[in-house]
A and B are shown apart, each in its own frame.
Chain A
Amino acid sequence: GQNIDQPTEMTATEGAIVQINCTYQTSGFNGLFWYQQHAGEAPTFLSYNVLDGLEEKGRFSSFLSRSKGYSYLLLKELQMKDSASYLCASSTGGGNKLTFGTGTQLKVEL
């Protein structure tokens, strides 16, 4: 079976750093995706981790530990436009079938 856990809500201040954690229990795991979803819009791709370690992409970084079933998304220099839901998804199978967590609603305040 598949199980993804992430916090429901987080609040952070503009200009700060925030870390969104995700734990997973997935059989046949082959990678971990992070998506961003603004209210009323479609999810958009942020990052994909296959190997252990940190992947950095501008203000956003994502980390994976396969042995611990753990990932996090790190957002630096927060901006108001970063207020959105952040979805963690585990990938399985040859077709990269995704199982999504319920999402973490991030609110960035002044």
Chain B
Amino acid sequence: KAGVTQTPRYLIKTRGQQVTLSCSPISGHRSVSWYQQTPGQGLQFLFEYFSETQRNKGNFPGRFSGRQFSNSRSEMNVSTLELGDSALYLCASSAYLAAEVYEQYFGPGTRLTVT
């Protein structure tokens, strides 16, 4: 099976602009989670989508939003970009293992730089 793919891999934007990142999960996986990774904070959970519905949301401002399509592909949007939004954005699709244990498969990430 093909892995999780994310596009674009690299992005440079200016403060105040908006950006849309895309994620295609592993075929058959219906859950997609998004994370922000910065050197100081590590991985922080943004939100999770399951069957086109946002199931959970982390502690991020409303400038961060997402959606999921019927084919499970997901997009993440950040509006009014700030310098602090510079980070590696990771997408993960999940497969149920057993006893409420899910394995998460991460994509390569999108490196966003805000100048």
A and B associate in one complex: no
